[in-house]
């Protein structure tokens, strides 16, 4: 059973822990560098990306996170977590840093005021059995991606789920739906990485 951490600084940590358990992983909270060192995969939850990045820096986790992601640690970010895994934020708050790893530019709160929170059926590549229920809450979208970033889902023409190697990100929150298929995809990625460790990317 793969040990998968949830970055537990702020956001919907408990929901991700439950979804990971439901998807067959052993889910643990990660708040300290030693806890990060012990996991085979990591979820960065939804919440507030600025707060999460500030707390990660304060807890001495930002550099260790960057190093492990660079070394091939499978990671999945939902919503704020997507922002944290992006190499670039289009409209960062001042001083807002990311862990990075996915070659993409994200736009925070992209869906705008009329549509700050909504649900929509989303077809997602790699997730069998019909569309997932996309819960979007002040969600980002992916403005642009690099050559190796795969778009797994779009909504109204905007990329809302992407994968690059061992990294996965969604604009929406599958952890709030009781449907564990997206977490299942991630747990499969963690298992595959444990079997064939990825080469370090420069």
- Contact positions toward ligand GLN, by CB under 6 A? 46-49, 79-80, 83, 108-109, 137-138
97 as an active site residue: the answer is no
79 as an active site residue: the answer is yes
The answer to whether the annotation marks 52 as part of a ligand binding site is no
Taking the complex as a whole, how short is the minimal distance between the CB of residue 191 and ligand GLN, in angstroms? 26
| Active-site residue, from 15, 175, 180, 183 | 175
Where are the extended beta strands (E) located within the chain? 3-7, 26-30, 41-44, 75-78, 86-89, 102-107, 117-122, 132-137, 141-145, 150-155, 158-164, 167-170
Token pair, residue 164, equals 């690059």
For ligand GLN, give the closer residue by CB, 80 or 153: 80
Taking the complex as a whole, how short is the minimal distance between the CB of residue 71 and ligand GLN, in angstroms? 25
- Among the listed residues 110, 109, 108, 83, the one whose alpha carbon sits nearest the alpha carbon of residue 97: 83
Taking the complex as a whole, how short is the minimal distance between the CB of residue 47 and ligand GLN, in angstroms? 5
173 as an active site residue: the answer is yes
How many CB atoms are closer than 10 A to CB 95?
9
Token pair, residue 125, equals 């590549």
The answer to whether the annotation marks 89 as part of a ligand binding site is no
For ligand GLN, give the closer residue by CB, 33 or 92: 92
How many CB atoms are closer than 10 A to CB 70?
14
Binding-site annotation, residues for L-glutamine: 47-49, 108, 137-138
User: Would you please indicate which residues are annotated as catalytic (active-site) residues?
Assistant: 79, 173, 175
Binding-site annotation, residues: 47-49, 108, 137-138
């Amino acid at each position: 059973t793969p040990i998968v951490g949830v970055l537990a600084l702020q956001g919907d940590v408990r929901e991700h822990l439950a979804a990971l358990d439901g998807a067959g992983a052993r889910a643990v909270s990660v708040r300290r560098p030693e806890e990060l060192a012990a996991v085979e995969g990591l979820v960065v939850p939804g919440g507030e990306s600025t707060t999460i990045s500030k707390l990660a820096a304060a807890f001495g986790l930002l550099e260790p996170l960057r190093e492990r992601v660079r070394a091939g640690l499978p990671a999945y970010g939902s919503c704020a977590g997507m922002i944290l895994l992006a190499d670039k934020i289009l409209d960062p708050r001042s001083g807002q840093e990311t862990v990075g790893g996915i070659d993409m530019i994200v736009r925070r709160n992209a869906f705008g005021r009329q549509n700050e929170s909504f649900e929509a059926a989303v077809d997602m590549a790699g997730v069998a059995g019909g569309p997932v229920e996309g819960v979007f809450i002040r969600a980002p979208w992916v403005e642009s991606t690099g050559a190796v970033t795969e778009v797994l889902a779009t909504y109204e023409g905007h990329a809302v789920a992407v994968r690059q190697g061992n990294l996965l990100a969604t604009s929406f929150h599958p952890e709030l739906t009781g449907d564990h298929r997206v977490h299942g995809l991630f747990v499969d990625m963690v298992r595959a990485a444990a079997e064939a460790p990825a080469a370090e990317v420069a």
